[in-house]
């Protein structure tokens, strides 16, 4: 290390490194959200038409997916083995329901964008 660096310079360099890592994580989560949303949208596109009921299911699945993400976050921090069960539950729902794909993509993207502002 250079002897001319003061304490403020070292803390600033550490803070920049931490912020760049956080930006990368946000970008990764946002790209995952877009991929999940597009997977659900493509399944609806291949189906042929989007009815009003299916659009309603997509809207209802947004808060449901946010609750599941909240449960996953809690279990990941407090009981890592239980987080695997929640992750399996999420994957099964993503495979089974295109509405849940759309809702999960929109919910996750909304969380990342809101967290990125603060």
Angle at 95 between CA 87 and CA 67, to 5 degrees: 45
- Tell me what pLDDT residue 48 has: 82
pTM of the model: 0.76
- Are 67 and 31 contacting, i.e. CB atoms less than 8 angstroms apart? no
Please determine, for residue 15, whether its predicted confidence score (pLDDT) is greater than 60: no
CA distance 60 to 109: 16
- Tell me what pLDDT residue 12 has: 62
pLDDT in tens, 67-90: 999 999 999 999 989 999 999 999
Structure tokens at 29: 């989560």
pLDDT band at 7 (very low <50, low <70, confident <90, very high): low
CA distance 96 to 102: 12
CA distance 50 to 52: 7
pLDDT in tens, 24-61: 888 999 999 999 999 999 999 998 888 899 999 999 99
């Amino acid at each position: 290390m250079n002897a001319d660096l003061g304490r403020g310079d070292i803390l600033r360099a550490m803070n920049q490194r931490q912020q760049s890592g956080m930006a990368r994580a946000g970008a990764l989560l946002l790209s995952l959200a877009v991929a999940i949303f597009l997977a659900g949208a493509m399944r609806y596109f291949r189906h042929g038409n989007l009815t009003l009921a299916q659009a309603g299911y997509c809207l209802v699945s947004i808060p449901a997916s946010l609750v599941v993400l909240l449960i996953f976050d809690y279990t990941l921090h407090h009981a890592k083995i239980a987080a695997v069960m929640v992750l399996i539950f999420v994957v099964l729902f993503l495979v089974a329901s295109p509405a849940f794909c759309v809702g999960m993509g929109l919910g996750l993207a909304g969380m990342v964008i809101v967290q990125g502002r603060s």
